[in-house]
Structure 1
Amino acid sequence: MLPGIRQTYFIVFLGCTGLILAALYMQHAMGMHPCPLCITQRIFVIVVGLLALLAALHNPAAFGRKIYGGLSIIGALIGAGVAGRHVWIQNLPEDQVPACGPGLEYMFETFPLMDALRLLFQGDGNCADVVWQFLGLSIPGWTLVAFVGLAVISLWQALRKA
């Protein structure tokens, strides 16, 4: 039997929470410092997770499910685009990897907000490092898989009957 609509939203929230906890574990316990694209992906995992939590608490009717589902799909697809770009950068030949850019704090302190955000989404040479793999996929590769899964679940939630 499939979980109910409210339960599915809560499961998505828990999945997103697990992804963020795994990222924080890798950062603080394993010493893997996130690059700008990693941070951007975390932001979109949080966005989708918070939308799922709000939907679970709200328990919307059909129209509300379409709204929550649509917003979640948008968040997941943007996150998938960022993760896909990250995977692409990681697979570039060494001579084509973008130069390393300034740190995140420096970007937001020095540049206008829109320029800092553009640099954040663009990624840099730090994003090309593959520091961990599982079953042949890097962290951004697994994050891309997660975002695709989140988009599919969000579409299913938006279209399913109660």
Structure 2
Amino acid sequence: MTSRKTLILLAAGGSAALLLGALYFQVFENLPPCKLCIWQRWPHGAALIIAAAALATRGPALPLAGAVSALTTGAVGLYHTGVEREWWDGPSTCTSSQSITDMSPARAADLIMNMAIQRCDEVLWSFLGLSMASWNALASLAFALLWVAAARRSR
């Protein structure tokens, strides 16, 4: 039987891997994220914080919060998949962003004028016919199951 700690580490490790993968594609493959891509990242970050707290405590509450986090990013991924496949409309403003607070006004203006804008309904990368959003939705469902199993081991 897999321990609670192992299940939490697997779920959190999966979230970390997806975040690192997204950053890899953004930085090294020059694939700018759209608004929905960014929205999918936040719950993975929350899952990492939840995992750290869950490893230091007992009880099912934090693993269940991890499951909610995984289901949230999965739901956004599913929504994003629907936007990409034109099953429904997405947000009217889908652009990437970068902080300009530490830049000179000239550099900030140059960045804004030359910023890559990514639409939420365009697929920049796919594998086996599924986009990154689709893979995120599927992986996040698996992570949610790991979190629920960890919660069950907490009792």
* Per-residue Cα deviation, 1:68-99 (whole angstroms, up to 9, x for no partner): 12211211122111111100000117xx7557
| 2: CA distance, partners of 1:36 / 1:103 | 6
Q: Provide the residue aligned with 1:28 in structure 2.
A: 27
> In the alignment, which residue of structure 2 is the partner of 1:10?
9
The within-5 A match list for 1:1-162 is 2-56=1-55, 58-60=56-58, 64=59, 66-92=60-86, 97-98=89-90, 100-101=92-93, 103=95, 126-160=119-153
Q: Deviations over 1:9-43 (max 9, x none)?
A: 12222221111111110000000001011001011
Unaligned 5+ segments in structure 2 are 99-117
Ranked by relative contact order (alpha carbons within 8 Å, sequence separation 6 or more), the top structure is 2
SS at match of 1:126: coil
Equivalent residue number for residue 110 of structure 2:
none
For the 8 Å contact 1:70–1:155, the answer to whether it is kept is yes
Which whole-Å CA distance do the structure 1 matches of 2:81 and 2:141 have between them? 14
Q: CA deviation at 1:7?
A: 2.4
Specify the code of the residue in structure 2 equivalent to 1:34: P
Once the two structures are superposed, residues 36-59 of structure 1 have per-residue CA deviations (whole angstroms, 9 ceiling, x without a partner) of 110010111111122122212x14
Cα separation, 2, equivalents of 1:137 and 1:102 = 20
Unaligned 5+ runs, structure 1? 107-124
Tell me the equivalent position of 1:113.
Answer: none
Partner Cα distance (1:7, 1:88) in 2 = 33
**TM-score of the aligned structures, taking structure 1 as reference length:** 0.74
Query: Per residue, is there more helix in 1 or in 2?
Result: 1
Aligned residue identity for 1:3: T
Q: Say whether the 8 Å CA contact 2:73–2:140 is kept in structure 1.
A: yes
